Structures are given as structure tokens and as C-alpha cells.
Structure 1
Amino acid sequence: MNTTANHSRGGVRRVRVNAEGAGQRIDNFLLRELKGLPRSRVYKLLRKGEVRVNGGRIGPTYKLRAADEVRIPPVRLEAPNPSAPRVPAGLRERLLSGVLHEDERLLVLDKPPGIPVHGGSGQAWGLIEALRELRPELPFLELAHRLDRDTSGCLVLAKKRSALREVHEALREGRAEKKYLTLLKGRLPRGALPVEAPLDKRERRGGERTVTVSAAGKAARTVFRTVRRLGFATLVEAEIATGRTHQIRVHAAHAGHPVLGDDRYGDRDANRDVRRLGLKRIFLHAHSLHLRLAEGRELLVDAPLSADLRAVLDAAEKEGA
């Protein structure tokens, strides 16, 4: 599914989807085919029915299938602006030096905190946009899963459509072990503390996502294991058997030990107290990922605890907290 991007397209194009391109959403397909076109204009093309698949109208979440024919209308794109914001030099270095693993199919990055995985909401670019700019030689680069903006650690990206499907299958079929380090309020018991509680995801006005424990939600299981006790808090390893939105944060709060630094589900007084130790974000770090892939292949990567969170633990120990 190789096409040439021009700044101006004089007529309708019809693109046939091959097996490698099957499974991707039409909106993401269009964003790559029409490089530089704002996402809002892509959705407008879909709403107006100017983009068609096999002659019919489709919505932005439609997933392409092999042999689908996509009709792409003529679209005028603005010429690249040489003065447009580029990825800051400091972030460029952090991203390029943060590669934990790379092969011909996958790239695993130690995601820095404070950057969303996608641009939007007033931010011109996110991690995926930055990486596409930094690695222009890669014709395909997609997130295989997500981490919240202020969460650091292991993040998997696919360099081929087939690799993306393979990782999604491993996540869906329980062939993935994801472990996080997090600092919870209070003193947890030694050993393991399993939490099984269904989670229901809802969107508030403005697209803000909020998750609650509800019988109407989807099954979710988290196992918290004590690593170190710090008086008012406990450093734990959280292993998730499912990958629900905000799962660790909601399960920790449900167990009575909210994640420190969590402004949405956490404890306001505890967050205020831990800020004096230098905590400026949620204490949540994806430190280990183990994927069992097809044909017996395995991927095991670890990301050391980020420097800002290590400093919080050091400050807590110095104060005898």
C-alpha cells in the first residue's frame, strides 16, 4: 500500500488495501496517505462521504480489510512550513537514547514522563508524531498500546502492520505480562494483594475519561506486591492481567491505597504531603514487559525506574518516612 504524497492532488485516487494494511482504522490510514492534513479535516471528509470504501460510506472507526478499495478525494495540502515547531533538541535526545529494544518488526521505548502518546488538545505533537519525525526512514510506525501522559516506562511500537496485529493478539489472549512500579498510600501487607474488580469506562464532557468500579464494567485483575515500606507509603510492583484504562490507579484506590501523585483517583492530602519530597507527577512507571509472540518468539524488556521517581524514594528514606 505504497503511495506518493504530494502537496496538491489533482484528482480522485483509488487505493487497494493489501494483507499488510488490513486491520487499520480508516482515519489512521487517511492521516498517513494525506500527510499534513489536520485530523479535523480527515473527519470532515468522512462525515461528508467524500471518502468511500468499496463504493460505500464508512465511519472513522471502520477497520480496513484486505482487497478493500479506498476512494480518496482530491485534497489540497498546505506546503510544509519551515518555521513550524520541531521536536525540541532535548526531547529528541531523550527519545533516541531511550530505545530499549529494536528489531525489524518492533521498537520498545522507555517513554519519558510528561509527554502524551498522541498530539492534540492544544499540543502540536505527541510521542508518536515526534518519533515519526525523528525516524522518517520508517514507512510504518504505530503504537501497540498506550501509557498515560505522566506515566513513564516500557512502550511498544510496531514497525509493520503484521507486527501490530501480533502484539494486539498477545495482549488480547493473555500472552503478555506487564509490571509497573508505583508508590501507594499507607502500609500494604507483605506478599501479594490481588484486586479483582470490574471497571467501567465513561467519558465526561470534553472527552475526559473516568473509570469506576462497577458490576456493569469489564473484568479486571491487578496483583500488588510489596517491594519496600516507607512509613506513610509502600513501593509496590503492580502486575496487570488485563489492560483496562486507568486500571492500576482505580484498583489501588478501590483497595484503599491510592497511587501517590494521582490527581484524579488519589488522596488530596497525601498528594500534598508527598509533593514536599519532590514528587511532581503520578508515581507510576512501566518497568517490565514480557510478550509471548507467535512461533515461540518472546520479547522481554525492562526499564529502570526514572530519575525523578528515584529521587522521591531517596528523599523519603532520608527523612525516615
Structure 2
Amino acid sequence: MTQQPVRFAAVGLDHAHIFGQVKGLSGAGAELVALASDDPEASVAQQMRDLVPDDVPFADSVDELLERDDIDLIVTAAVPDRRGPIAIKALKSGKDVVTDKPGCTTLDQLEEIRQTVADTGRFWSVTFSERFEVPAVTKAGELVRAGRIGKVVQTLGLGPHRIGDRAHLAGGKGRPEWFYQKERYGGILADIASHQIDQFLWFTGATSAEVVTSTVGNFANPDTPGLQDFGEVLLRSEGAQGYIRVDWYTPQGLPTWGDGRLLVLGTEGYIEMRKYIDIEGRPGGNHLFLADQNGTEYVDCSDVTLDYYPNLINDVRDRTQTAAPQEHTFETMRLALVAQQDATLRGAAQ
């Protein structure tokens, strides 16, 4: 007997990451049944209307979909300060939740989500797309687990972005006002650096860590002090260290939105990933370079299979945690929020 597809609704259509989330879930066999957003006129929401089939309705309100009994899963890329409240209401309505990063913007929101997950038995997954949607990172994880570079003792994660990138701006209409309001997007460390924190925990195998020091700055955009355009974090777990740098300084001359890199250092070698571009090198993205006791190696990871979205579907059906362990997601967001809360302010940053 064929299993019924997992039915999901996309709510809070404010960031272009929702396109990848909907595509990933639909491609894994889930059925998109409805859309809703706080701002139906936002450029991302308007483009989403054009991308989905005509028979997928746009509901009058987000709450209407959160409360429907015939929906299994809620996916959201709402304005970041709305993601926590949306998740909590969806969980309490008996639905699993997949949210864009940051999954929430305050430690109080995180604690309420944690308690609601415990009370309801549903899951809360944050789509750390720089791992879940990047084949080079998946391949690097396989190599690390196979022991190719020995014990991982450090990760170095770089997450540069470009303010004017059209790929992140549906229709190229410019960044919305909330992008410049720290209390709404959560700050650069809670937002972007959560990717690199996720990767630090995953590659090192750490279940917990501490923030040694963190800094945020605004060095290039003094007219919009709410925009933190630079951030760095130093992490430490029982057996490993991690350094993270994120920024909004990608120059216009680079043919992609950011030269995202990750270097994983082991006791017997290291792996470097150039996720989106190899400047003046090989075309395309998903480049992996490995050096170990036997020599050096290049791996083209463009055809590596990704499993985050198929695993999410299985987790809804089987009540498992194969896409990402729940405690890992909680710890990633806790570290990101602590780093943000305790960060030293530099330049014009607020």
C-alpha cells in the first residue's frame, strides 16, 4: 500500500531561502498544499506565487494554516523575529516545523521552542543550507567519518555575503527594511554564523561547546547602523576549536554572492571546501581539496547526493531524527544567540 505524501504549507515568505526549502521538500516527495505570509506583497511572496502550481492556494493568514488539521509540516522563511512564534504555534497545533536560519532571534524564544518540542513530541529543524544544500560539505563529512584526516581538532568557516545580491532578492527589488533592523533579523552572528556553528559541531562531533569570544561590527555602512556587516566568533569544545568570520563585503567583481569556504583540520591531514566559486580556478562550485599522509587530492562534488530533505520526510513519518538530531539544532542556535548577545560592538554597529 502506497504511503500518503507528507502534506506541507509554506508560511512567512520573506527570504529567498524559502525557494530552496519548498523545492527540496517537493523534490523529496512532499506535497505543497498552501501558502501564506505576513506580507503577501513582499517580493519573495510574489515570486513564490508565480513558481508554485495554480492549484496551490494562498491563504488569508498564517494562523489559518498553522491550525489546519490536514497539514503535517510547516516550512517558513519569515522575517527572523517571526520564525520562533510561528514555530511555537505550529508545534502546539501538532505539526513538525522546518525553518530557515536563524530559527529564532532570542534565547527566550529558543527556550520556549525547546519546551514546546518536549511537550508535543514534534520536531523543529533549522535549515542550515550551507551544509544541507552544499554537496561539497556532504562529501567532506563522508571523508572525515572515514578517518581520512584523523581526529578533527579545528574548523575555520568563512561566510561572506553581498548586500546587493539578486539571488537573495526576489525580483532584484532591494533589501527590505527589516534587513537593516537588528532586532528583526537577529544580528549577523545569530543569522549567518549559525551556519558555521552548525558545521563546527557536525565536523568535530561535539554535542556542546562554549563561546570564547565574539565581535560584531559595522565598518562600511554607518548610515544603517542596525546592519552588522562584520562578525567573528571563537568556539571551544572539549576536543576542538573553531573560528568563524562572516561579513557583507563581497565585492561586485566576484561572480557569485560569496566566496564561502570551510577548512577542516585533522591530526593527519586537512580538507578545504570552496563551496560556491574557485576564483581563477575550476568553474562552478562544490570544490573539495584534501591533503593527507599520502598526498593531495581534488574532488568535484557537484554530483554528490543530498539527503536532508528526504530525511525530513522520513522523520515526519517515522518520528525519527535522521535529518538533524534535535539537540544538535538546539545547541547550534544556543551558541549563535549567546555569541550574538555577548559580542563586543565595533564601528557603527548597534
Q: What is the TM-score normalised by the length of structure 2?
A: 0.24
Q: Which has the higher helix share?
A: 2
Provide TM-score, normalisation by structure 1. Answer: 0.25
